[in-house]
Amino acid sequence: DPSPESTFVCPIIIEDDRTGLDTETIRRALRDNLLYIQGKLPELASKNDLYMALAYTIRDRLLQRWLTTQQTYLKKDVRTVCYLSAEFLVGPHLANNLINLGIYEQVQKAVSESGLKLEELIAQEEEPGLGNGGLGRLAACYLDSLSTLEIPAIGYGIRYEFGIFDQEIHDGWQVEITDKWLQYGNPWEIARPEAGVEVKFGGYTESYTDENGNYRSRWIPDYVVKGIPYDTPILGYRVNTANTMRLWKSEACESFDFGRFNRGDYYGAVDNKVHSENISKVLYPNDEPIQGKELRLEQQYFFVSCSLQDMIRIHLHENPSLNSFHQKWSVQLNDTHPSVGVAELMRLLIDVHHFDWDKAWFITQNTFAYTNHTLLPEALEKWPLSIFGRLLPRLMEIIYEINHRFLDKIRIIYPHDDGKISRLSIIDESGEKYVRMAHLACVGSQAINGVAALHTELLKKDVLRNFYELFPEKFSNKTNGVTPRRWIVSSNPRLTFAITEKIGENWIKHLEDLRGLENYVDDGEFRDSWRRIKYDIKADLANYIDKKVGIKVDPSTLFDVQVKRIHEYKRQHLNVLHIVTLYHRLKNNPNLDITPRTFIFGGKAAPGYFMAKLIIKLINSVAEVIDNDPTIGGRLKVVFLPDYNVTFGQRVYPAADLSEQISTAGKEASGTGNMKFSMNGALTIGTLDGANIEIREEVGAENFFLFGLTTEEVYAKKAAGYNPQEYYYHNEELRAVLDLIGSGFFSRGDSSLFRPLVDNLIYDDPYMLLADYQSYIDCQEGVGRAYKDQEHWSRLAILNVARMGKFSSDRSIRQYCEEIWRVQPVKIELPDYIQANA
Ligand code: OX2
């Protein structure tokens, strides 16, 4: 906000060194920042010092764009999208900012003076791991597209001091290490302590009559926490728009309790400070399901309250009242994690700004929209009333009132259907009482969407069936997408060059233009160079694997990759069953002709998820045995790469030949890794699940390796009483494979180690691996055969890339803008003394 006391009228003079985009100016700026920000002489500077100096050099070039953007938004009083998300898995900023500014080459030259390569400095950046997986990464792709499409937007979230843990592998087991991403400072963020807000917790409520005789509620909290915003500019691709990602850090209002301090209780005096700071201390490392811990609810309420108060402050700066709030703000709830926002906006409007209920409810309902990301029943968030009421007593009252009014209306529609009423209620009263966050989100939102066509259909039919029946007009599908700027241009420069050479560079902003590549599938020279590029990228990855885990892999083998969170529904262990099947065949028939493969895995398990951790151990155990078996002769290699994250994703997607998307049908809401692989020329082996279905539709059935049960078949089998033992007893090879794992063959004779996993498959198999086993094995044989014909494989790979236009996050964001948010692009004009983007 411009301060009313501010009297500066003179424009900023041309600050060439902080804005110029040519090599010479950047070189000067780099040295300047090294000296005056890092405080280092060039000859004593470490790699990290140079990285920091470069990061500040680039940030300087973002600032004018960012400030101009914010000023334009204020002046034009625009409608703004607020994306509320407990996770933003943005990944490293430096390379993307260079690409979006269009100064990669200039900076490359400028940096070479230091004797280092730009790529080394880029590698120096500690990635902000403020998310678990797909949900957090989607939020980051959406911020990129919002800026690129010049849409006014703010991403609101939590500035976790410790993000997702670093993963190490010790003796084949996952070990979690604290992620100290802030330890050397974060040059991309700017703290705004002056925009701090307060958030209440605990205590009780009381009613009172105000001076006008109105009946009101007051919340007397137990404690109050301060939220401090940290802003990171998010620049769009080759536009001037730089939106804000505003993450909240929790702090104590008064760091010392002087009453206690004076009584000599020094440690007691800082208690409050410790508790307050804990709220934004650490990301909960569970992907889905979420963990029902009180601190998690504190985190959710904390960032949602901070964000809504922030919007209200900005709104009242430009508008006389909050009557028009819903016209100026569209707030997207990224899953139910921020859905307490529905009740919080009601509280702010009623208790603080003295709206009556109906008007407040109208504004609230027209402000929010809700995206659901999962069908897994255990991931549907609900909070015990005991916890919720104690921590947020005023919000509990408001939720009861919302529910009361909602159910009154429902009773008119379903007069004698108590079952319906209890199924729709925001409060689950079937046993211990809970607040159902998805119900709160559905009732309080103007729009509800799933993240892939199948997922949205299943929401309507199953998880949110009752709400769909009530308000069908609120429901729509928004298939996920990913940003080609990070997932092709930044991570795969060689492919980018090859594509651009043929079809120009328009595809980077209009991904459907990749269709133009179809004209080159029959061009033998193009296919040759395509293969050479893939080979070189695979050779790079092979070097990296050797450096990281000391395993030598051959880049001419088929790189078969599965990288994603480790979860039973994603079925990494089905992939292992295939590997063990091939191994078993080779043991029985050493001369068997198979396509040599390198299996690459990566992914983190939730620290408390035993089975997922056992799957990691199994992968590593199988890897070790195969690697030490001379009869295999390098025809099979298995590599588990520790610490899968955005940075490693950027390395591995471009190097893959085969993308494993093998979840049980009906379980993966969308998947987004599936899109990143295919965009980089990998073929997919997958089930009819999530966005796989749409990928197959786009690339054509003949360019996709399909296997497994459909969702309907999965449901039907479950209903008929699925018995995995039938498969175990009737499929000899499957039985041999499971028995081999169970026998202790891969665990140095310890037959108890993998027993829980094997028994779970034989006697329960909730994700139906055994039902899909044979179909998967057969399909993989087809993959092996197809890979042998390299010319044919290249054609398929090129077609995959050419037909991935739909899966740009630009397409997803356009749909959200038109169909849910109703927002328009706003052009940002830079002052003429700022050098325009290259
Ligand atoms: C994930 C889903 O599991 C994944 O299928 C989807 O692609 C991604 O969200 C983005 O929509 N937590 N993570 C997810 O859902 C939840 C809940």
- How high is the pLDDT of residue 838? 55
Cβ atoms of 838 and 103 within 8 Å: the answer is yes
Is residue 672 part of the annotated active site? The answer reads yes
Cβ atoms of 452 and 687 within 8 Å: the answer is no
d(CA 833, CA 29): 17
Indicate the pLDDT class of residue 59, thresholds 50, 70 and 90: very high
Is residue 635 part of the annotated active site? The answer reads no
Q: What pLDDT digit, counting tens, does each position of 185-217 carry?
A: 999 999 999 999 999 999 999 999 998 999 999
The answer on pLDDT for 268 being more than 60 is: yes
Mutating to test ligand 1, I would choose from 296, 376, 670, 677 the residue with most ligand atoms within 8 A of its C-beta, which is 670
Ligand 1 centroid, distance to 374 Cα (angstroms)? 6
The answer on pLDDT for 4 being more than 60 is: no
The mean per-residue pLDDT over the stretch 168-181 comes to 98
The answer on pLDDT for 363 being more than 80 is: yes
Q: What pLDDT digit, counting tens, does each position of 669-717 carry?
A: 999 999 999 999 999 999 999 999 999 999 999 999 999 999 999 999 9
The mean per-residue pLDDT over the stretch 772-788 comes to 98
Q: What pLDDT digit, counting tens, does each position of 13-33 carry?
A: 446 889 999 999 999 999 999
d(CA 424, CA 443): 10
Indicate the pLDDT class of residue 256, thresholds 50, 70 and 90: low
> Nearest to residue 815, comparing CAs of 131, 78, 81, 245?
81
Q: What pLDDT digit, counting tens, does each position of 307-357 carry?
A: 999 999 999 999 999 999 999 999 999 999 999 999 999 999 999 999 999
- How high is the pLDDT of residue 408? 97
Provide, rounded to the nearest whole percent, the portion of the chain with pLDDT above 90: 92
Ligand 1 centroid, distance to 380 Cα (angstroms)? 12
pTM: 0.97
> Nearest to residue 822, comparing CAs of 445, 434, 331?
331
The set of protein residues with a Cβ atom below 6 angstroms from ligand 1 is 133-135, 138, 287-288, 335, 373-374, 379, 451, 480, 668-672, 690
Is residue 502 part of the annotated active site? The answer reads no
- How high is the pLDDT of residue 605? 98
Is residue 373 part of the annotated active site? The answer reads yes
- How high is the pLDDT of residue 2? 45
- How high is the pLDDT of residue 379? 83
Range of weakest confidence among 229-243, 281-295, 569-583: 281-295
Ligand 1 centroid, distance to 378 Cα (angstroms)? 13
Residue nearest to atom 13 of ligand 1 (CA): 135
For the chain, the farthest-separated pair of C-alpha atoms sits apart, in whole angstroms, at 92
Interhelix angle 610-627/755-763, nearest 10 degrees:
110
Residue of 455, 460, 509, 564 marked catalytic:
564
Phi and psi, residue 822, nearest 5°? 50, 55
Q: What pLDDT digit, counting tens, does each position of 136-162 carry?
A: 999 999 999 999 999 999 999 999 999
Residue of 65, 394, 565, 567 marked catalytic:
565
Rounded to 10 degrees, what is the CA torsion of 643, 644, 650, 651?
70
Per-residue exposure over 497-533, b if at least 16 CB sit within 10 Å of its own CB, e if not: ebbeeebeeebbbebbbbeebeebbeeeebbebbbeb
Ligand 1 centroid, distance to 135 Cα (angstroms)? 5
d(CA 809, CA 126): 25
Indicate the pLDDT class of residue 91, thresholds 50, 70 and 90: very high
Q: What is the ipTM of this complex?
A: 0.99
Is residue 273 part of the annotated active site? The answer reads no
Q: Which two tokens stand for residue 124?
A: 């120096």
Residue 480 CA, closest ligand 1 atom number: 11
Give just the sign of the alpha carbon dihedral 805, 810, 816, 819: negative
The answer on pLDDT for 779 being more than 70 is: yes
Residue of 244, 598, 664, 672 marked catalytic:
672
Indicate the pLDDT class of residue 12, thresholds 50, 70 and 90: very low
Q: What pLDDT digit, counting tens, does each position of 388-443 carry?
A: 999 999 999 999 999 999 999 999 999 999 999 999 999 999 999 999 999 999 99
Ligand 1 centroid, distance to 342 Cα (angstroms)? 22
Residue 137 CA, closest ligand 1 atom number: 10
Indicate the pLDDT class of residue 258, thresholds 50, 70 and 90: low
Ligand 1 centroid, distance to 174 Cα (angstroms)? 22
Indicate the pLDDT class of residue 289, thresholds 50, 70 and 90: confident
Ligand 1 centroid, distance to 192 Cα (angstroms)? 31
Residue nearest to atom 14 of ligand 1 (CA): 135
Is residue 676 part of the annotated active site? The answer reads yes
Q: What is the DSSP letter of 652?
A: H
Mutating to test ligand 1, I would choose from 130, 290, 373 the residue with most ligand atoms within 8 A of its C-beta, which is 373
